[in-house]
A and B are shown apart, each in its own frame.
Chain A
Amino acid sequence: GQSLEQPSEVTAVEGAIVQMNCTYQTSGFYGLSWYQQHDGGAPTFLSYNALDGLEETGRFSSFLSRSDSYGYLLLQELQMKDSASYFCAVTRGQNFVFGPGTRLSVLP
């Protein structure tokens, strides 16, 4: 079967760094994606890792270890607008399996 695990909630203060983890068990793994979703809104794509290592895009970085079936999303210089849910998703060719999401609360 397919399963992804993410911590349900994370709280951090403005300006801090936060890491959100994702572990997965799945067949047909192509890569790991990350999406951000604000309350009531649609998910938006943040990053994609197909190979082991760190990908950086501005304040966001994503890491993947295929041997450990593990990845994380790192957010630096946290801002209030980063308060949202963050989902990891395994890409299996042309379809996807999403994790349950981590709700990030950024405090002033």
Chain B
Amino acid sequence: DGGITQSPKYLFRKEGQNVTLSCEQNLNHDAMYWYRQDPGQGLRLIYYSQIVNDFQKGDIAEGYSVSREKKESFPLTVTSAQKNPTAFYLCASSDKRGSYNEQFFGPGTRLTVL
């Protein structure tokens, strides 16, 4: 089955530590995205990538970093510079065949920083 996987589902870290969230897709999609969702809020775009080895900052990129070395993978690192990292993180992908209109989301990672 094609889809997007994110691991782990729940993640706990101590304040001041960097942490990397995994996102893998086997849909052969060109574009991948990272969003942050806080309780009762909408999704805010952190970073997105339209092609391998290229990525763009979204609306709230400060304190985060990404890489896109392979088409299937788009890991997100939450650095110690991110002031309020506790949130629900969602990875998504889309494809030019659908004119990028439809996004497919992974199950999310809930990060708690203690």
Contacts and interface: CB of A to CB of B under 8 A. Distances in A.
Interface of A: 2, 4, 31, 33, 35, 41-45, 48, 50, 87, 89, 91, 93-101
Chain A binding surface SS class? strand
Interface residues on B, range: 20 to 34
Interface of B: 31, 33, 35, 41-45, 48, 50, 56, 58-59, 90, 94, 100-108
Given A45-B103, A94-B48, A87 B58 contact: no
B102 A33 contact: yes
Given A95-B45, A95-B48, A95-B58, 17 more contacts: A4-B42, A31-B101, A41-B107, A42-B90, A42-B108, A43-B43, A43-B103, A43-B105, A48-B102, A50-B101, A87-B42, A91-B100, A97-B59, A98-B42, A98-B43, A98-B44, A101-B42
